[in-house]
Amino acid sequence: MRVLVYGAGQLAQMMYLAAAPLGVIVSAVDVATETVVNPVSKKPTGVSLRNAIQNSNAITVEFEHVPEHLLLDADKSGKLFPNVASILTGADRVREKALLIKNDIPNCDHVIINHIDQLDGLVAKLGEKVIFKASRDGYDGYGQWRMSSKADLVGLREKFSLLDLEKVPLIAERMMQFDREISLVGARNKEGEIACFSLAENLHHEGQLHVSVAPITNHNDALQKKANEIFEKLASALDYVGVLAVELFQCGDELYVNEIAPRVHNSGHWTQQGCSTSQFEQHIRAVLGLPLGSTELIGVSAMVNIIGCSSFSRDLIGIHNAHLHWYGKEVRVKRKMGHINVVAKSHASLGEKLIHLTEFLPLEHFPKLVGEASRLEKS
């Protein structure tokens, strides 16, 4: 069996590695050149894109921002999972907000800005603390602007006047006073079978995910059930097939959807060692119509992103149940270079292991690690 992935980054690479034991061959498409490549070596396979589509049992994506003409061409084969509507919804915050509102799913109070004059009266609607997000092509903190007080509107108006707001509107959201950011990664197959992983607790720095811990601390079944219900509602509304990630704000006992990602997700990397089935294998199973795997936990896990650096000691793999995943990319500021998964028997034990992990890392590149390790150790 063969799966073709649009996008040739680390997510395609990890799908390739997860699919191999199933006897599934994964190829990737460099969407900039429309060349079919090996997901690990990145070398062209010599197979044309058209032949790769014909020879594949399923076609999928590793990120939302695939050029639309490529998606529509793939869709004609009848093999594209998730469907085009799901992918386009994940790539466009205006579509995403419409999906949430239509399905009565709690989300942040917001205003869609497609003309500069809509900034007038915005404070009256949303308050003085507002985050502005580009409706398309924004991720990892890019394409975002924050307003801390009404006085900031003057400078923001100047910046926004240079943008084509009709082509790419802004989403202005009230900054929520949430308790924490969490996420749910789950899968739905062609028969409508759903399997959700445990909720993960996420720590961000400058808009980028740095650490995920699963299951969340102070975990309770009611919160997991509420998140699962949100996932099921979204997946059913989209007629979704594959892995879908839902990012959430927790406010007391309530959950609000921040955004969705129609693909395998950074906050689900912990599943590689922390679950019976990883999110990558689960996605391959789902798009091929195979039975979904167990999401049973193996232990308490943390995923630590390696961002913008390569100068760390690989001796860290000497820590019991610490696993390095290296993407083989050229170092750039804010670029995800790899990640480390650590598994333990309890949150406290996980905290101890993460403190040990700090001995092998340049901590200026891991600003959230020490604090999170200390918090977990005391839990």
Structure tokens at 267: 């906050």
Instruction: Give all domains of the chain, ordered by start, each with its CATH number.
Output: 2-80 (3.40.50), 109-174 (3.30.1490.20), 180-377 (3.30.470.20)
Residue 112, pLDDT score? 96
Cross-strand partners of 61: 6
Residue 9, pLDDT score? 97
Cα(64)–Cα(327) distance, rounded to whole angstroms?
20
Cα(301)–Cα(304) distance, rounded to whole angstroms?
10
Contact indicator for 304, 273 with CB cutoff of 8 Å: no
Residue 300's CB is within 10 A of a number of other CB atoms, namely 26
pLDDT at 138 over 70: no
CA distances to 152, 170, 171 from 143, rounded to whole Å, are 17, 9, 11
Sign of the four-CA dihedral 356, 250, 262, 200: positive
Closest C-alpha among 18, 38, 34 to residue 66: 34
pLDDT mean over 128-138: 89
Contact indicator for 369, 361 with CB cutoff of 8 Å: yes
Cα(207)–Cα(220) distance, rounded to whole angstroms?
27
H or E element, residue 18? helix 10-19
Q: Structure pTM? A: 0.95
pLDDT mean over 275-287: 98
pLDDT at 139 over 70: no
pLDDT at 272 over 80: yes
Cα(41)–Cα(60) distance, rounded to whole angstroms?
19
H or E element, residue 82? none
- Mean pLDDT over all residues of the chain? 96
Residue 379, pLDDT score? 84
* Residue 148: partners with Cβ closer than 8 Å, 6 or more residues away: 128, 129
